[in-house]
Chains A and B, each alone.
Chain A
Amino acid sequence: MNLLVCIRQTLDTEEKIVIENGKVSHADAKFIINPYDEYAIEEALRLREAEGGTVTVVTAGPEQAESALRTALAMGADKAVRINTSAADARAIAALLAAIAKKETYDLILGGNFDVDTGAGQVPIRLAEELDMPHIGPVTNLKVQNGRIRAERDAEGATEVVTCALPALITAQQGLNEPRYPSLPGIMKAKRKPIAEFNGDELVSAELLADTAQVVALFAPQPKEPGRILQGELDDQVEELASILRIKCGLS
């Protein structure tokens, strides 16, 4: 199977987020592969192990994003591609990834369900549309058989079993697998694997690279009033809590 995994480098949102001058500070930030993209990488590696083939990872971003590709290579990906671009808009990224995807024939394309930093999950689905390919997401279980995939998708409280013919695109949801850690030999090998590079503005038109929206402001959530730990006998606390909530939440 020829597998393509679209990944993105992101700030680790489990760390403290510092906002300075209307921007998130990168000074002490830790950069990681978007956790949902890691599930996608892992699933591709497992499929290759079962079915044979190659796993290519691709990312669109500045030079710094190369370390995300190195990590994916260390996990076991065969090839890596970086699209050099400062574009960040989902429409543009999807168009750029499509340009790379079209250079080869991929049976299955995988991406993460959403990005933990932007909170958006648009790119892989837009990519599927750009390639006129069916998509299934968010996927929690995946099987490939006779040129078709059978995926379980998480549909708000229900699990849907969905099938479709390859080529197709899936987005990975937590629960799909447990991503492996890069092994030491894997890390050593990854250092020698080449990373193909393309310039974004040579892949798609300037019109497509343009932003569709602008961030006008970025701010921390409104600080909450400090909470109150109720005191006294438990029965009194419960009574007080119920009467507060009745008023504050209009429960009646």
Chain B
Amino acid sequence: MTDSLERGVPMSEKVLVFTEQKDGVLRNVSFECLTAARRIASGGKVAAVIFGAGEDGQVKKLASFGADQVYVLADDQLAHYTPDAYKQAMLQVVEHFAPDAILLGHTGTGKDIAPRVAQRLNIGLISDCTAIDVEKDTVLLTRPVYAGKAFEQKMFYGSRQFITLRPNNIRTKEDPRSGQIIPFPVAIRDVRTVVKEVVRRAASGIDLTEAKVVVSGGRGVQNAEGFKPLQELADVLGGAVGASRAACDAGYCDYALQIGQTGKVVTPDLYIACGISGAIQHLAGMSQSKIIVAINKDPEAPIFQIADYGVVGDLFDVVPKLTAEFKNVISGK
């Protein structure tokens, strides 16, 4: 292992972070990328990129999490994601800043654009990383494989590293820097895909992949009404509601809530699985949650095998009681 480490890529002098916004607000994963970038950069320089006008507050916040420079890409063609426009913009920033390492969130957009940019740059990409370690000046990246049944630790051979980070896995750390603004005009042409329509489905404001608490329902919720007590519990805990594929397939909720291999992958501090049996596809989407609570009538349900705490009982009894209990606890009984 030592041999291979010696051949590895050393820490970087210049690290570039592409940030992402949702409804005009910078997503938390962007700050997680900045924290990771500072770790990789050591004493080097970190630049963040904003796709948009770059409000003062956004720039200040990026600076407070470690951005020495902030590229502001105020171009209308970047207001909505398209692979062609984003690729051109990203390549132009990469050419200008000449980073040794590039980071972005492993989000819907990150997954879609990073491979394109990596191929154009003729470099590798290590995607969906859940941990970054620096050993002997070599950057080691950990990522889940085999539906979360194993982890691999990888390192780059090349001279330029490209990494996407799974949201909610790196703890952000403030590290104030100057955040010097670089207004950066980009030249975008020949955007070949046209977004005709965007149908918003996600109900709550809290992004499922970035929520600290997720209350999730399965077939056991029985119908759409059955999600109400789950939503109440999530509201009390400042969390988001998710669902298993079974609940989505049964039409109890929208596929936007689906957690699992196909749906969203979540890593909250607390995952409360209500009436979810625990099929492997579901586990692949949530098994890395820090604390898992299972509530299920069936004591044999596989979900109990990965749960830290289990309550065998009817979710319609347990969940409202838990909501009431948390209301007491949180208001400081």
A175 CA to B201 CA, complexed, in Å: 16
Stretch from A54-62, A65-73, A101-109, A240-248 that touches the partner: A240-248
Cβ-closest chain B residue relative to A242: B325
Q: Give residues of chain A (94-144) contacting chain B, Cβ–Cβ below 8 Å.
A: 94, 116-123, 125-126, 128-130, 134-137
- Asked if A161 and B199 sit within 8 Å, CB to CB, the answer is yes
List chain B residues, Cβ under 8 A from A224: 306, 308
| B158 interface hit (Cβ, 8 Å) | yes
Shortest CB-to-CB span from B321 to chain A, Å, is 4
Interface size on B, residues (CB 8 A): 98
List chain A residues, Cβ under 8 A from B195: 160-162
| A147 interface hit (Cβ, 8 Å) | no
B144-170 vs A, CB cutoff 8 Å, 1 = contact: the mask equals 111111111111111000000000000
- Asked if A229 and B326 sit within 8 Å, CB to CB, the answer is no
Cβ-closest chain A residue relative to B140: A216
- Asked if B321 and A238 sit within 8 Å, CB to CB, the answer is yes
Q: Taking each of B125, B209, B294, B304, which has the highest tally of chain A beta carbons within 10 Å of its own beta carbon? A: B125
Chain A interface size band reads 35 or more
Q: Give residues of chain B (160-205) contacting chain A, Cβ–Cβ below 8 Å.
A: 192-202
| A188 interface hit (Cβ, 8 Å) | no
- Asked if A214 and B322 sit within 8 Å, CB to CB, the answer is no
Q: Give residues of chain A (177-230) contacting chain B, Cβ–Cβ below 8 Å.
A: 210-221, 224-225, 227-230
List chain A residues, Cβ under 8 A from B107: 156
- Asked if B261 and A251 sit within 8 Å, CB to CB, the answer is no
Cβ-closest chain B residue relative to A173: B262
Cβ-closest chain A residue relative to B239: A251
| B293 interface hit (Cβ, 8 Å) | yes
A75 CA to B312 CA, complexed, in Å: 44
List chain A residues, Cβ under 8 A from B67: none
- Asked if A215 and B256 sit within 8 Å, CB to CB, the answer is no
User: Which residue of the partner chain, among A130, A137, A230, contacts B310 with CB atoms under 8 Å?
Assistant: A230
- Asked if B306 and A220 sit within 8 Å, CB to CB, the answer is no
- Asked if B157 and A158 sit within 8 Å, CB to CB, the answer is no
| A86 interface hit (Cβ, 8 Å) | no
| B313 interface hit (Cβ, 8 Å) | yes
| B143 interface hit (Cβ, 8 Å) | yes
Shortest CB-to-CB span from B155 to chain A, Å, is 6
- Asked if B119 and A241 sit within 8 Å, CB to CB, the answer is no
| B269 interface hit (Cβ, 8 Å) | yes
A158 CA to B200 CA, complexed, in Å: 5
State whether A90 and B321 are in contact (beta carbons under 8 Å apart), knowing that A135-B83, A155-B108, A163-B193 are contacts in the complex: no
Shortest CB-to-CB span from A82 to chain B, Å, is 22
A71 CA to B111 CA, complexed, in Å: 29
Shortest CB-to-CB span from B24 to chain A, Å, is 15
- Asked if B291 and A248 sit within 8 Å, CB to CB, the answer is yes
User: Which residue of the partner chain, among A134, A159, A210, A243, contacts B201 with CB atoms under 8 Å?
Assistant: A159
List chain B residues, Cβ under 8 A from A213: 124, 126, 154-158
Cβ-closest chain A residue relative to B145: A119
Q: Give residues of chain B (297-319) contacting chain A, Cβ–Cβ below 8 Å.
A: 299, 304-313, 317-318
Shortest CB-to-CB span from B90 to chain A, Å, is 12
B249-277 vs A, CB cutoff 8 Å, 1 = contact: the mask equals 00000011000011010000110000000
- Given A91-B118, A174-B262, A249-B290, output 15 extra A-B contacts at Cβ < 8 Å: A17-B150, A119-B147, A126-B118, A154-B255, A156-B209, A158-B201, A159-B201, A164-B193, A218-B145, A218-B150, A224-B306, A228-B308, A239-B325, A242-B322, A250-B269
6 closest cross-chain pairs (CB), A and B: A212-B124, A157-B202, A156-B108, A134-B192, A125-B115, A126-B119
